[in-house]
Amino acid sequence: MLIKDNHLQAAGSIRPAIERAREIAPHTLRVKVETEYLAQVQEALDAGADVLMLDNMDLETRRQVVALCRGRALTEASGGINEQTIRAVAETGVDLISVGALTHSVTALDISLDWE
């Protein structure tokens, strides 16, 4: 279950958003929270998030978050990641990397299949 910035605003903050997610989600689902700042990371960890999405964080901040989360939650880098930046992002030690360009920058291919 992914809790993004709009969900956080609707819930008031990270803790109530995670608590609500835990109430309605099956116990097998992980709760992932989108974070942009170190303070949000700490709040999400304290509230029991399983995965922290590190959205548009600089490399040094991502390194700090990885150290803070080690053994407590998985880390996922997102935002601004492309062929030129992915190696440096990976070297921060994050567990996962999301690359939005795979979906928002792809050229469509018109394919059809006709049965006769």
Residues spanned by the domain of 37: 2-100
Rounded to an integer, the average pLDDT of 89-109 is 85
Q: Is 110 domain-assigned?
A: no
pLDDT tens track for 3-17? 999 999 999 999 999
In a domain, 114, yes or no: no
Q: Could you count the other beta carbons within 10 Å of the beta carbon of residue 36? A: 15
pLDDT digits (tens, 9 = 90+) for 43-87: 999 999 999 999 999 999 999 999 999 999 999 999 989 989 999
Q: What is the pTM of this model?
A: 0.84
Q: Is residue 106 part of a domain?
A: no
Domain assignment present for residue 20? The answer is yes
* Half-sphere CA count of 79, side-chain side, radius 13 A: 13
Helix (H/G/I), strand (E/B), else coil: 34 = strand
Confirm whether 107 is domain-assigned.
no
Q: How many domains does the chain have?
A: 1
Which CATH number do you get for residue 28?
Answer: 3.20.20.70
Distance of CA 70 to the CA centre of its chain: 16
63-90 b/e with 16+ CB inside 10 Å = b? Answer: eebbeebeeebebbbbeebeeeeeeebe
> Does residue 78 form part of some domain?
yes
Would residue 16 count as lying in a domain? yes
Residue 98 identity? S
Reported as a pLDDT band with limits 50, 70 and 90, residue 95 is very high
Amino acid letter, residue 97 = I
Would residue 79 count as lying in a domain? Answer: yes
